[in-house]
């Protein structure tokens, strides 16, 4: 079904076919979740006539059913087999969409094995168009993933956090997510004290102590679909400045959420958060985009950034996560997952957004 939609789109855009390696696009089109193919070349080949074929390592012989497939064994040259498949699907030349994240050695081997005649184009713009409008079963999985992170936040508030190392708290969060869902959508961020000034801080040995502000950013996966939440909490009464910053970020997040409407461009939502923060005098400390699309990948279209030209539609899902980061002091970020539903934004994550002081 999804392959058929994809085929119509590639035909409409004037491409002869596509060459897709494992990842979110591969899973979206095939429903096959091939665990850790690693360095073993694996490809889905699709042509504009609607024919498709898989080339996979023989390790997956018992995992792939009801799908046209050729297997190759360790020791064989998969690229010769791929050349035959490309020939059969009449894809030895012309404009071919190629998975953006395909390993460079795979692509070089394909081009070297007699397939120099095709012109490669990035797959992501075409797939992005399909994937950013979620179907009901995808939304349902995302709702479940959002419920998991809400629940984990509730539980975190009951843990004995003062004295814990950032990486201990991150591990506890990760374990709980794994217990409640199919896995984590990315490695949790726990950033305490002045480390909270780094939006992508790697949790380290710092012990969380009284007076700290702590950014918690984590996500769960359900049937491949991600959630992503950030809450900033305080351990003991934080500095007045941080409380002021918290209120500004909260207002920016709320304003951006209210700006979500069908027909509005993603950049308008970004502008709403950005202007709120700039008016409060913290514009230079909001150093990233307001949000990103969310689905099979943690970052995908539509990006909620100053350049976001995508016009929002029902079924689109993305984060709204403004932040203020002050070097040497700390930072605040508040993030929710949002669905465009019946023309308006609907929060999928619903954990308490007010500042919690433990
Ligand atoms: C994939 S790790 C980061 C997850 C986080 N929720 C996130 O997406 N961001 C944190 C800072 C901004 C934003 C980002 O665009 O990276």
The domain locations on the chain are 2-130, 133-357
| Range 269-286 average pLDDT | 98
Q: Which residue's CA is the closest to the ligand 1 atom numbered 13?
A: 291
Residue 281, burial from CB neighbour count under 10 angstroms (0-12, 13-18, 19+): exposed
Tokens coding 14: 């004037």
- 61-116 pLDDT per residue, tens: 999 999 999 999 999 999 999 999 999 999 977 899 999 999 999 999 998 886 56
Report residue 118's pLDDT band, with 50, 70 and 90 as the boundaries.
confident
Q: Complex ipTM, two decimals? A: 0.98
What's the pLDDT at 94? 87
Backbone dihedral region for residue 163 (phi beyond 0: left; psi -120 to 50: alpha; all else: beta): left
What's the pLDDT at 211? 93
Strand order in the sheet with 344-347: 300-304, 291-293, 317-320, 336-341, 344-347
Strand bridging mode 43-47 / 52-57: antiparallel
- 174-189 pLDDT per residue, tens: 999 999 999 999 999 9
| Range 131-138 average pLDDT | 97
Q: Is residue 336 lining ligand 1, measured as CB closer than 6 Å?
A: no
Q: Is residue 298 lining ligand 1, measured as CB closer than 6 Å?
A: yes
Contact between 90 and 11 (Cβ < 8 Å): no
Pocket test for ligand 1, best of 190, 200, 302, 308 (most atoms within 8 A of CB): 200
Q: Is residue 201 lining ligand 1, measured as CB closer than 6 Å?
A: no
Distance from Cα 136 to the centre of ligand 1, integer Å: 25
Distance from Cα 231 to the centre of ligand 1, integer Å: 13
Pocket test for ligand 1, best of 277, 299, 300, 349 (most atoms within 8 A of CB): 299
Q: Which of 165, 143, 204, 214 minimizes the C-alpha distance to 356?
A: 214
* Cβ neighbour number for residue 136 with a 10 Å cutoff: 8
Distance from Cα 229 to the centre of ligand 1, integer Å: 10
The CATH homologous superfamily of the domain defined by 2-130: Creatinase/prolidase N-terminal domain (3.40.350.10)
Distance from Cα 292 to the centre of ligand 1, integer Å: 8
Q: Is residue 335 lining ligand 1, measured as CB closer than 6 Å?
A: yes
Checking if the pLDDT of 142 tops 90, the result is: yes
* CATH for the 133-357 domain, from 3.90.230.10, 3.40.50.880, 1.20.58.1610, 3.10.20.30: 3.90.230.10
- 163-176 pLDDT per residue, tens: 999 999 999 999 99
Residue with tokens 């012309």: 94
> Angle, to 10 degrees, between the axis of helix 266-279 and the axis of helix 240-259?
150
Q: Is residue 27 lining ligand 1, measured as CB closer than 6 Å?
A: no
Nearest atom (ligand 1) to Cα of 292? 15
Residue with tokens 């700390």: 330
* Cβ neighbour number for residue 329 with a 10 Å cutoff: 17
Instruction: Report angle CA 199, 201, 205 to the nearest 5 degrees.
Output: 150
Tokens coding 33: 């979740």
- 203-246 pLDDT per residue, tens: 999 999 999 999 999 999 999 999 999 999 999 999 999 999 99
What whole-number distance in Å separates Cα of residue 272 and Cα of residue 261?
12
Biggest CA–CA distance in the chain, Å, is 69
Report residue 131's pLDDT band, with 50, 70 and 90 as the boundaries.
very high
What's the pLDDT at 1? 74
Distance from Cα 200 to the centre of ligand 1, integer Å: 7
- 33-44 pLDDT per residue, tens: 998 899 999 999
Contact between 310 and 327 (Cβ < 8 Å): no
Q: Which residue's CA is the closest to the ligand 1 atom numbered 11?
A: 199
Tokens coding 282: 């913290």
Q: Is residue 134 lining ligand 1, measured as CB closer than 6 Å?
A: no
| Range 8-21 average pLDDT | 96
Q: Is residue 297 lining ligand 1, measured as CB closer than 6 Å?
A: no
The number of residues in the chain equals 358
Q: Which of 40-44, 236-240, 276-280, 349-353 has the lowest mean pLDDT?
A: 236-240
Q: Which residue's CA is the closest to the ligand 1 atom numbered 12?
A: 288
Average pLDDT, the chain: 96
Distance from Cα 19 to the centre of ligand 1, integer Å: 29
What whole-number distance in Å separates Cα of residue 206 and Cα of residue 170?
12
């Amino acid at each position: 079904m999804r392959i058929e939609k994809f085929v119509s789109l590639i035909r409409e855009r004037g491409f002869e076919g596509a060459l897709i390696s494992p990842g979110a696009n591969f899973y979206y089109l095939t429903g096959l979740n091939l665990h850790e193919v690693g360095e073993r070349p694996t490809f889905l080949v699709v042509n504009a006539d609607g024919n498709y074929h898989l080339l996979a390592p023989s390790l997956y012989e018992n995992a792939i059913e009801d799908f046209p497939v050729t297997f190759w064994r360790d020791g064989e040259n998969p690229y010769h087999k791929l050349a035959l498949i490309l020939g059969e699907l009449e894809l030895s030349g012309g404009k071919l969409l190629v998975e953006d994240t395909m390993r460079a050695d795979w692509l070089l081997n394909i081009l070297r094995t007699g397939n120099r005649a095709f012109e490669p184009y990035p797959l992501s713009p075409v797939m992005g168009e399909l994937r950013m409008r979620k179907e009901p079963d995808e939304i349902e999985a995302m709702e479940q993933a959002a419920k998991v992170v809400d629940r984990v936040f509730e539980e975190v508030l009951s843990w004995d956090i003062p004295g814990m190392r950032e990486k201990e708290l991150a591990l506890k969060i990760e374990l709980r997510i794994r217990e409640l869902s199919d896995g984590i959508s990315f490695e949790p961020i726990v950033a305490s004290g002045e480390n909270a000034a780094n939006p992508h801080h790697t949790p380290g040995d710092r012990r969380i102590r009284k007076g700290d502000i702590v950014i918690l950013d984590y996500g769960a996966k359900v049937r491949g679909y991600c959630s992503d939440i950030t809450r900033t909490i305080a351990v003991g009464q934080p500095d007045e400045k941080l409380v002021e910053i918290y209120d500004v970020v909260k207002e920016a997040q709320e304003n951006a959420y209210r700006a979500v409407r069908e027909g509005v461009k993603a950049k308008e939502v970004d502008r709403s958060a950005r202007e709120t923060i700039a008016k409060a005098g913290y514009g230079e400390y909001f150093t990233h985009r307001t949000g990103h699309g969310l689905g099979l990948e943690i970052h995908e279209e539509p990006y909620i950034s100053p350049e976001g030209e995508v016009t929002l539609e029902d079924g689109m899902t993305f984060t709204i996560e403004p932040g203020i980061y002050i070097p040497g002091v700390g930072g605040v970020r508040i993030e929710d997952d949002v669905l465009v539903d019946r023309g308006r934004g609907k929060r999928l994550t619903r954990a308490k957004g007010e500042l919690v002081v433990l």
